[in-house]
Amino acid sequence: MTLPQTIDENKLHEFLGKVVTDVGAAMSAALVVIGDELGLWRALASAPSPLTAVDLARHTETSERYVREWLDAMASGGYVVYDATAETYRLEPEQAVALADADSPAFVPGLFQVTAAMWASRAKIGANFRTGAGLEWGHQHPCLFEGTERFFRSGYLGNLIQSWLPALDGVVEKLERGARVADVGCGVGASTIIMAKAYPRSRFIGFDSHAASIELARQRARQAGVADRVTFEVASATDFPGDGYDLIAHFDCFHDLEDPSGAARHAHAAIAPDGTWLLVEPFANDRREENHNPVGRVFYSASTMLCVPHSLSRGGPALGAQAGELRLREQVVSGGWRTLRRATQTPFNLVLEARP
């Protein structure tokens, strides 16, 4: 390899600074997951006053020497606040909401679990770069399933009932009266359960092709006290049973599918004449250069390791997590839907409404 004859030292140092920042983030991501698993974040958040490393280790029944190193790594990254005079550590309220409160719309440890799953599949996906083969969702590392549910659940808690469903034409009124809802690609059921708790007169069926996720979803429904109005079944987006649904929803899964056009046709056949199809997808612009930003970086990376491999594993078109509204529209229209509009959006989501 021939190196450039002239190197701008300032640009080189600037780039190496990015590398150091990224490597530090990648390394400390594992520590964020450990802190979540061991209850370190929750202990810091619930403490009435700042803690020393000895205090935190005692509260969590962990080793002080490991905890001290963990705390300094987290303080170095701005995830923990350190008082050098008192040699204590604490969480700011904003950090606590994001790291320690699983019911917060800003809760993020699940995203770090997804990152861990991506590292776990590195060898398999690396080999697929040469062969073009895929990797089914269910064959990924098990921490992916819990991490995905925890990460997306935060977004659903903050948006689904408050803004996404109200942005759809007449849907909330139907749900309040009593509607029939299919949540397709429901995973472990976070979105289904949130809707069921908000609209007790409606009935919800969650479908997913991953049997282990469906079993966990059933447990979650019982724990949430909504098992009387929620059922979960193993089925794919192109063969889930039933018709006459008032609302069919695909949350953050349509771009993963091996047959999105077929899924659109099946949803069209299953919807009531005046029903609504809700598509929630990762936010993306149609021009890829407009997605070259921090959010796009996260989505393209996850897409490379998770979304594209699943679609390819079954011969699909591999739309990817940054498909954009134009490419999604092509699939929806091919399924026979009459209209599609962007009902609302967030920095992380496109919320689309299709009508038959």
Report pLDDT for 150.
Answer: 92
Average pLDDT over residues 326-331: 96
Q: Is 178 helix (H, G, I), strand (E, B) or coil?
A: coil
Average pLDDT over residues 300-326: 96
| Topology, domain 110-355 | Rossmann fold (3.40.50)
Question: Is 9-101 in CATH node 1.10.10.10?
Answer: yes
CA distance 247 to 210: 22
pLDDT by residue (tens digit) across 144-186?
Answer: 999 999 999 999 999 999 999 999 999 999 999 999 999 999 9
Q: Which parts of the chain fold into alpha helices (H)?
A: 9-38, 40-46, 53-60, 64-76, 93-99, 109-120, 122-131, 143-159, 171-177, 190-198, 211-224, 260-270, 294-302, 308-313, 324-334
Report pLDDT for 314.
Answer: 92
Report pLDDT for 4.
Answer: 66
CA distance 255 to 321: 6
Nearest to 194 by CA among 235, 151, 153: 153
pLDDT at 20 over 70: yes
pLDDT at 338 over 80: yes
Report pLDDT for 2.
Answer: 64
pLDDT by residue (tens digit) across 97-130?
Answer: 999 999 999 999 999 999 999 999 999 999 999 9
Query: What ranges do the domains of the chain cover?
Result: 9-101, 110-355
Sorted by sequence, the CB contacts under 8 Å of residue 188 that are 6+ apart come out as 145, 146, 149, 213, 216, 217, 220
CA distance 342 to 75: 41
Report pLDDT for 6.
Answer: 86
pLDDT at 60 over 70: yes
pLDDT at 276 over 90: yes
Is 224:197 a contact under the CB 8 Å cutoff? yes
Q: What is the largest CA-CA distance in the chain?
A: 72
Q: Could you tell me the two tokens for 76?
A: 């170095």
Q: Is 206 helix (H, G, I), strand (E, B) or coil?
A: strand
